[in-house]
C-alpha cells in the first residue's frame, strides 16, 4: 500500500463515520481520561490530552489526526452499533472484554479497538518523561536489565505478523511480562488470549499508526515511540495493578 492508497482508505473511513449518528462520537470524557471508564454503552470517543502535533517529531500530526479522528472514532461507532440487544449492552468496556469470545467478532474487534486506543493515548506524552527509580527497579528485576526489557518489548512489536499490539502487562501473579496480540485483541480478553494480565504499556503496530511517516519501516517507528512514552502514566497503572 502506498501513501496515496493509505490516504484514500482513511478518507473513506472518515466518510463512513460522518454518515452515522454523531452523538456516539462526542468527546465527552475529561481530557486525558481513558474512555473505558464509561460505565456502559453508548461509549464515547475520548479527547486527546494533547494537540495533534504535540508528539512531533516522534509521531507526526497527520498520523495522530487520522488515527484518533478516523480510526478510533470508527471503533467507537461500530462498537455502539453492534451492542444493541446483546448481553453486553449494559456492561462496562472492561467487563465486555473479559466476557467476549471468538464468536463475538464485531464486539471483540471494535471493543478491543476502543479500549486499546483509549489506553494508548494516555501512554504518550508531549514532554520528555523518564521512568522513576522504583519503576526501573521493578522492570529490571523482572527482565534482568532495562536494556533487556526494551529489547524484549521491541521484539514483541517487530514480530507481530500484520497488525497488532505489543504490551507490558502485570500478570495475575503480580509479575511483569511482555507479550503481543494480533489485531485489536488485548490481555483483558480472558476467553481469547493465552497471556492474561493488566496492560500498563502498549504500542500500536497497525500500519495506520506509522505508515505516513515511516512507510514499511516499523523498527524506525518503534524506536521513535520510546521518546514519547508517558512513564508517569505507566507507573500509575503499575501501582494500581500490583
**Domain contains 237:** yes
> Closest Cα partner for 158 from 220, 228, 219, 223?
219
Domain total of the chain: 2
**Quick one: pLDDT at residue 55?**
98
State yes or no: pLDDT of 207 exceeds 90. Answer: yes
Using one digit for the tens of pLDDT, what is the confidence trace for 70-112?
A: 999 999 999 999 998 899 999 999 999 999 999 999 999 999 9
Give CA–CA dist 187/199, Å, rounded: 7
| pLDDT tens column, 125-149 | 999 999 999 999 999 999 999 999 9
- Residue 203 belongs to a domain with what CATH number? 3.55.40.20
Query: Using N-to-C axis directions, what is the helix angle for 73-83 and 105-122, rounded to 10°?
Result: 140
* Residue list for the binding site for Mn(2+): 67, 117, 204, 208
Q: Is the pLDDT of residue 17 over 90?
A: no
Count the residues in the chain.
Answer: 242
Residues 117 and 137 in one domain: no
Closest CA to 40 of 102, 100, 101, 83: 83
pLDDT band for position 214 (50/70/90)? very high
CA dist 118 and 237 (Å) reads 14
> Can you give the residue range of the structural domain that contains 36?
3-122
**Statement: residue 7 has pLDDT above 90:** no
Sheet holding 164-170, edge to edge: 176-182, 164-170, 198-204
Q: Last residue of a domain, which of 82, 101, 122? A: 122
At 128 the three-state DSSP class reads coil
- Known binding site: residues? 67, 117, 204, 208
Nearby residues of 8 by Cβ (< 8 Å), 6 or more positions away: none
CA 153 to chain centre: 15
14-23, 55-64, 129-138, 198-207, range with the lowest pLDDT? 14-23
Query: Would 128 be classed as within a structural domain?
Result: no
The CATH number that applies at residue 11 is: 1.10.287.990
Amino acid at each position: 500500500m502506498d501513501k496515496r492508497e493509505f490516504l484514500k482508505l482513511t478518507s473513506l473511513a472518515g466518510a463512513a463515520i460522518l454518515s452515522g449518528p454523531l452523538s456516539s462520537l462526542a468527546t465527552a470524557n475529561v481530557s486525558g481520561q481513558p474512555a473505558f471508564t464509561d460505565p456502559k454503552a453508548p461509549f464515547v470517543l475520548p479527547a486527546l490530552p494533547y494537540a495533534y502535533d504535540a508528539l512531533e517529531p516522534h509521531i507526526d500530526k497527520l498520523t495522530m489526526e487520522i488515527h484518533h479522528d478516523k480510526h478510533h472514532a470508527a471503533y467507537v461507532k461500530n462498537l455502539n452499533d453492534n451492542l444493541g440487544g446483546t448481553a453486553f449492552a449494559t456492561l462496562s468496556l472492561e467487563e465486555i472484554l473479559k466476557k467476549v469470545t471468538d464468536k463475538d467478532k464485531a464486539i471483540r474487534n471494535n471493543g478491543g479497538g476502543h479500549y486499546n486506543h483509549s489506553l494508548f493515548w494516555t501512554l504518550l506524552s508531549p514532554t520528555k518523561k523518564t521512568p522513576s527509580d522504583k519503576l526501573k527497579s521493578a522492570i529490571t528485576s523482572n527482565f534482568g536489565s532495562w536494556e533487556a526489557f526494551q529489547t524484549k518489548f521491541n521484539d514483541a512489536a517487530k514480530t507481530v505478523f500484520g497488525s497488532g499490539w505489543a504490551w507490558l502487562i502485570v500478570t495475575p501473579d503480580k509479575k511483569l511480562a511482555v507479550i503481543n496480540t494480533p489485531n485489536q485483541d488485548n490481555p483483558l480478553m480472558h476467553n481469547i488470549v493465552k497471556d492474561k494480565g493488566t496492560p500498563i504499556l502498549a504500542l500500536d503496530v497497525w500500519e495506520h499508526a506509522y505508515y505516513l511517516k515511516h512507510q514499511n519501516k516499523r523498527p524506525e517507528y518503534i524506536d521513535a515511540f520510546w521518546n514519547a512514552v508517558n512513564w508517569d502514566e505507566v507507573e500509575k497503572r503499575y501501582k494500581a495493578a500490583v
